[in-house]
Amino acid sequence: MEKKFKIYITISSLLILSSCSIAGSWVYERADSFLADYFKEYANFSNQQKDEIDKVTENYLNWFTRNELPVIRAVLVDLKDINNSNADNLIKKTYLNGQGLFERSNKYFEKSFIKFSKTLTDLQVDEIKNHFEEIQIEREESRKKEKIYSEEVIENYISGFKRLNIKLTKAQKDYVKENIKELKNIRSEWSFFQEEWVEELIGILNRRSDQDFDKKITIHLRVLENLGDEEFQLKRKNNEQVGIKIISDILSNASEKQIEGAKRRIETYIASIDRILSNRSLD
């Protein structure tokens, strides 16, 4: 569910892939097709509806390239100057930029989603409901195989730093292990609030002919950015702050070799964006 709506994660992942391969620009240029295929899984849409999905996702990629890639590039340029003394401020700034990107991407899709919703049939709404239920079943099955929360989090940090070309030392891994004790395990709560959100979404879609449909669906879509009750939001905020602190502290005390490795990786990301922007300007 979260993966389906946080579109920027998909784009960012494709961007990372593009930095690791000569074929990267080819991957990025087909991001709209990947996104369209995601949406088309929700129901048996008509050919006209599929054409509309293709159009919206293509326009989104154009918008993202024109408006967001330069922002991401600017953030990476700032990060390229990272050192022990400025790491804390740069990581906090980067996190805020990521939040802004997520919110702008969600808002970009609002009008298109509302317009498209009005073309749905009752059968398609039922199919969308069934699709979400299948996702929930898959999630529950996956949860049975999940590792212990702390072990999974540690692995995520290690692999995350590795993607930044930083291999954590034993002391740094121990630091992560010690500080993740402050994290709250909110996986089950997150799942519950997602299910609740979907249930209400289906209810609104079933009343898509109501006069106040546009208002209700808009409010509901924006709720996704702040899902859950006050207690849950406090736990999420705590986890965000703990995560930022861990990353900032690791980089603030990283060795010169680790910092230089990160800078080289960041340079490849910037080069990837430049290649994409250059190819787009030639179209």
Query: At residue 193, does pLDDT exceed 80?
Result: yes
Contact 32, 39 (CB under 8 A): no
Lookup: tokens for 128: 């969308």
Contact 277, 65 (CB under 8 A): yes
Considering only CA atoms, give the Rg of the chain: 21
pLDDT tens digits, 173-185: 999 999 988 988 8
Long-range contacts of 37-42 (CB under 8 A, 24+ apart): 38/4, 38/10, 41/131, 42/127, 42/128, 42/131
- pLDDT at res. 201: 93
Task: Write down the pTM of the prediction.
Answer: 0.81
Distance in angstroms (rounded) separating the CA atoms of residues 16 and 159 = 14
- pLDDT at res. 255: 95
Alpha helix ranges (H) inside the chain: 2-5, 7-19, 24-29, 31-40, 47-63, 69-79, 87-117, 122-144, 149-163, 170-179, 187-205, 213-223, 230-252, 256-282
Q: Which residues contact 186 (CB under 8 A, 6 or more apart)?
A: 232, 235, 236, 239
In DSSP notation, 213-254 reads HHHHHHHHHHHGGG-S-HHHHHHHHHHHHHHHHHHHHHHHT-
Q: Which residues contact 9 (CB under 8 A, 6 or more apart)?
A: 3
Distance in angstroms (rounded) separating the CA atoms of residues 124 and 10 = 25
Q: Which residues contact 275 (CB under 8 A, 6 or more apart)?
A: 18, 24, 25
- pLDDT at res. 114: 92
Place of tokens 């990267």: 24
| Confidence label for 145 from pLDDT (cuts 50, 70 and 90) | low
Distance in angstroms (rounded) separating the CA atoms of residues 87 and 249 = 8
pLDDT tens digits, 27-76: 566 667 777 888 888 999 999 999 999 999 889 888 988 898 888 889 88
Lookup: tokens for 241: 């702050």
Q: Which residues contact 111 (CB under 8 A, 6 or more apart)?
A: none
Return the minimum-mean-pLDDT range out of 15-19, 127-131, 155-159, 172-176.
15-19
Query: At residue 25, does pLDDT exceed 60?
Result: no
